[in-house]
Amino acid sequence: MQTLLDNRINRLLADKSQNKLSIYFTAGFPALNDTRTILMALQEAGADMVEIGIPFSDPVADGPTIQASNQKALENGMTLRLLFEQLEGIREGVDMPLILMGYLNPVVQFGMEAFCKEAARVGIDGLIIPDLPLAEYERQYKGLFESYGLKFICLITPQTSEARIRQIDALSDSFIYMVSSAATTGAKQGVSNEQIQYFERVNAMNLRNPKVVGFGISDADSFRTVGQYAEGAIIGSAFIRMLESSTSLKADILRFIQSIKVNSSNL
Amino acid sequence: MFSATSQGNFSVDESGYYGEFGGAFIPEMLYPNVEELREKYLSIIAQEAFQKEFYELLRQYVGRPTPLYKAEGLSARYGAKIYLKREDLCHTGAHKINNTIGQILLAKALGKNKIIAETGAGQHGVATATVCALMGMECIVYMGKHDTERQKPNVERMRILGTTVVPVTSGSQTLKDATNEAMRHWISHPVDTHYIIGSVVGPHPYPDMVARFQSVISEEIKVQLLKEEGTENPHKVIACVGGGSNAAGAFYHYLDAPEVELIAVEAAGKGVNSGYSAATTALGKPGILHGSRTLLMQTEDGQVVEPYSISAGLDYPGIGPVHAHLFASGRGKFYAVTDEDAMQAGVMLSRTEGIIPAIETAHAIAVLNQLELSSDEIVVINLSGRGDKDLQTYIDWGKY
Ligand SMILES: Cc1ncc(COP(=O)(O)O)c(C=O)c1O
């Protein structure tokens, strides 16, 4: 195994001084060529990590907001090939950890090895492929991902058994994506007691990997709350909704990120 | 009867694959549910009490065995001995209820009290609503909005049965999108809910489980044909394929009898190369959708293509992994039938035999025009459903 600080994700999450904010957006949305603009604006605004969504026609783990952004991105003409073109040279201006998040079929059609090669070349640090199950990952792709220095990030949910969480922890060496509740993306507002019990239960397991909470985190409040139980949180649907109504991406992204970071670090 | 062991080259292997197709490509959120099913389904359905209840309900409630009817008019017309396996006479009007009876008993054994399902033509939705009414379980059915419009009587049947029908407005608003939405519901309600998938699609163990419940079709054909013809094995078994559950059931006990030709009929829509088609084996390549690796209609970039067929039950961009394997291995022969040919065959069957078939089923009838038959050949066509639900489509088509 590689050392724990070998990758931008590991370096970011090794610093425990504050709660890390990760942003999800769908590539090709709102307009086809917004990818770089959004990434640069996120970097300037002080986001800590970014998940770039590869649009898919049938995103079964996603709620209405991200579904709609996927559909719009595809209508705009977004493809994986084009995404890699847009990301060409992105490391000249962006040093946040970058993660590609997408469903398995577009990746497989691109070719898994070609995908890893391109991802590594443009400076991607990790992959989230929700419908690539752990067993298939281990059987088919683990060696490949590792050889390109790409971290495979696994999800856990309130229903994931302790034994399986331990197994995922053993196989991971970046972070564990803690899905906040039994839901698709964007479903809930606020953080319930039941969720807190789940976070506490997982915390008590003393996993070796940091945890980042996603699904249903939408504002400074929920960001701050889950930050007590994890190293960071991911905001997706709320960010997409902001993009959708934005007239000036750069200014609106700055405002969005600050509203979350400033309001949550005050306490 | 179900056995806990797999049999032969065309059944699912230990890791959930049929050759290179199958598997369980599901998000982690669904892992506990699918894993629980995988661990328990074989032992539950092998239990004597389960089998007794299953076969008893099939007999008393569904009306099985369904007749294997020697269609003299059709036989004379095509110059072969043609039998129709009358799944249209099942309670609710199609084969779909064989599976929903099995799965509702399984859901009970797993301690689940809420049911969800997807439906295309509405036959699976009605069959699910029916068993939920029977067992006193809460039921939600997801149905593409487009399908709710072209299969209106089935929407109302489900509502009368006490089911909530949710029209799905994403994508092409047909079966694929209804399946997406049902999966999302299951992700959000993992503890108390069982998802009754309506065909041999989805993650392992669904394709195998549904095929086992539908295998009663070929189990009966063997017994019935032996009585009629002195042999269990016909020369050909023909079935239409949407996801492929009626075909899987009709083929099941013949998979390892190579002398029995297995003929699967897909929907060509307005023509295989018209851009309006659901002929998956002709147009698809290997890909991953709804939890399994199978043949899939998709763009070069791996986006799923919106299929088209006049028949809501065949309007799906994939096929069950078992059928992808039958196609790839050559064990199954795949044909495609256009809307127009299917509609004509539906009317032809109505006038020749006095049976108005479902439009899905009419595709299986229409393939007779594409086959070279001889007079001593025994052909069994799986008459998967009746045409009551399709009256409006027949009327709109109008050529009768
Ligand atoms: C009568 C009938 N036949 C066939 C089908 C297609 O399903 P499958 O391919 O799973 O048998 C349907 C689906 O709705 C149906 O209603």
Instruction: Express each pLDDT in B96-117 by its tens digit.
Output: 999 999 999 999 999 999 999 9
Asked whether residue A61 is assigned to any structural domain, the reply reads yes
Chain B residues in contact with A56 by the CB 8 A cut-off are 302-303
Which residue has the CA at smallest separation from atom 12 of ligand 1?
B313
A51 among known catalytic residues? yes
Is there a common fold for B20-59+96-210 and B63-93+215-397? yes
Domain B63-93+215-397 fold: Rossmann fold (3.40.50)
Residue B3 has pLDDT above 80, yes or no: no
Which of A62, A80, A134 comes nearest B301 by C-beta?
A: A80
What is the reported pLDDT for B339?
A: 98
Contact criterion met (CB < 8 Å) for A106 and B187? no
What's the B267 CA to ligand 1 centre distance in angstroms? 11
Give the position of tokens 């109505």.
B350
Chain A residues in contact with B290 by the CB 8 A cut-off are 58, 60
What's the B378 CA to ligand 1 centre distance in angstroms? 23
Domain count, chain A: 1
Selected catalytic residue, list A51, A118, A125, A231: A51
Rg (chain B; Cα; Å): 19
> Is the Cα dihedral B18, B21, B25, B30 positive or negative?
negative
- From the CA of B119, give the closest atom in ligand 1: 14
Asked whether residue A6 is assigned to any structural domain, the reply reads no
B384 among known catalytic residues? yes
What is the reported pLDDT for A1?
A: 45
CA distance A170 to A213: 19
Strands (E), chain B: 17-18, 21-22, 68-70, 81-86, 114-119, 138-144, 164-168, 193-195, 236-240, 261-269, 285-289, 292-296, 332-338, 378-383
Residue B319 has pLDDT above 50, yes or no: yes
Closest B-chain CA to A156: B28
* ipTM of this complex: 0.94
Selected catalytic residue, list A62, A118, A169, A173: A62
Give the position of tokens 């096929």.
B319
Asked whether residue A2 is assigned to any structural domain, the reply reads no
Q: What is the mean pLDDT of residues B150-165?
A: 95
Asked whether residue A13 is assigned to any structural domain, the reply reads no
A54-80 as b/e, with b when 16 or more CB fall inside 10 Å?
bbbbbbbbbbebbbbbbbbbbebebbb
The rounded percent of chain B whose pLDDT value lies above 90 is 95
User: Going by DSSP bridges, is the β-strand pair A126-128/B17-18 parallel, antiparallel, or unpaired?
Assistant: unpaired
User: Going by DSSP bridges, is the β-strand pair A232-235/B17-18 parallel, antiparallel, or unpaired?
Assistant: unpaired
- CA torsion B352→B127→B240→B41, rounded to 10°? -140
pLDDT band at B265 (very low <50, low <70, confident <90, very high): very high
CA distance B382 to B362: 10
SS3 B310: coil
Q: Which residues line ligand 1 (CB under 6 A)?
A: B 94, 120-121, 123-124, 199, 240-247, 313-314, 358, 360-361, 384-385
Closest A-chain CA to B180: A60
Asked whether residue A8 is assigned to any structural domain, the reply reads no
Asked whether residue A3 is assigned to any structural domain, the reply reads no
What is the reported pLDDT for B7?
A: 60
Q: What is the mean pLDDT of residues A118-140?
A: 96
Q: What is the mean pLDDT of residues B49-69?
A: 98
Selected catalytic residue, list B85, B96, B112, B236: B96
Closest CA to A83 of A48, A63, A56: A56
Contact criterion met (CB < 8 Å) for B26 and A131? yes
Residues of the domain holding A57: 19-266
Chain B residues in contact with A153 by the CB 8 A cut-off are none
Asked whether residue A40 is assigned to any structural domain, the reply reads yes
Q: Is B279 left (phi over 0), alpha (psi -120 to 50) or beta?
A: beta
Query: Minimal Cα–Cα distance from B296 to chain A, Å?
Result: 10
Chain A residues in contact with B302 by the CB 8 A cut-off are 56, 80, 105-110
Contact criterion met (CB < 8 Å) for A107 and B302? yes
What is the reported pLDDT for B1?
A: 59
Asked whether residue A11 is assigned to any structural domain, the reply reads no
The rounded percent of chain B whose pLDDT value lies above 70 is 98
State the CATH number of the domain containing residue A191.
3.20.20.70
What's the A153 CA to ligand 1 centre distance in angstroms? 39
Residue B305 has pLDDT above 80, yes or no: yes
CA distance A155 to A173: 13
3-class SS string, chain A: CCCCCCCHHHHHHHCCCCCEEEEEEECCCCCCCCHHHHHHHHHHHCCCEEEEEECCCCCCCCCHHHHHHHHHHHHHCCCHHHHHHHHCCHHHCCCCCEEEEECHHHHHHHCHHHHHHHHHHHCCCEEECCCCCHHHHHHHHHHHHHHCCCEECCEECCCCCHHHHHHHHHHCCCCEEEECCCCCCCCCCCCCHHHHHHHHHHHCCCCCCCEEEECCCCCHHHHHHHHCCCCEEEECHHHHHHHHHCCCHHHHHHHHHHHHHHHHHCC
Which of A107, A133, A187 comes nearest B188 by C-beta?
A: A187
What's the A11 CA to ligand 1 centre distance in angstroms? 54
Domain locations in chain B as residue ranges: 20-59+96-210, 63-93+215-397
pLDDT greater at residue A150 or residue B1: A150
What are the φ/ψ torsions at residue B83 (nearest 5 degrees)? -110, 145
Q: What is the mean pLDDT of residues B23-44?
A: 96
Q: What is the CATH number of domain B20-59+96-210?
A: 3.40.50.1100
The string of pLDDT tens digits covering residues A136-181 is 999 999 999 999 999 999 999 999 999 999 999 999 999 999 999 9
What is the reported pLDDT for A267?
A: 46
What is the reported pLDDT for A262?
A: 81
pLDDT-wise least confident of A218-222, B61-65, B326-330:
A218-222
Which of B24, B28, B298 comes nearest A155 by C-beta?
A: B28
- From the CA of B122, give the closest atom in ligand 1: 14
Residue B279 has pLDDT above 80, yes or no: yes
SS3 B61: helix
Which residue has the CA at smallest separation from atom 4 of ligand 1?
B360
Q: What is the mean pLDDT of residues B306-320?
A: 94
What's the A246 CA to ligand 1 centre distance in angstroms? 46
**Which positions ≥6 away from A170 have C-beta within 8 Å?**
none
Closest CA to A151 of A210, A108, A81: A210
The string of pLDDT tens digits covering residues B166-219 is 999 988 788 999 999 999 999 999 999 999 999 999 999 999 999 999 999 999
Residue A230's alpha-carbon distances to A130, A163, A168, A212, in angstroms, are 20, 20, 16, 6
Q: Work out the mean pLDDT of chain A and round it to a whole number.
A: 94
- From the CA of B210, give the closest atom in ligand 1: 10
B96 among known catalytic residues? yes
What is the reported pLDDT for B44?
A: 98
Give the position of tokens 């997807």.
B118
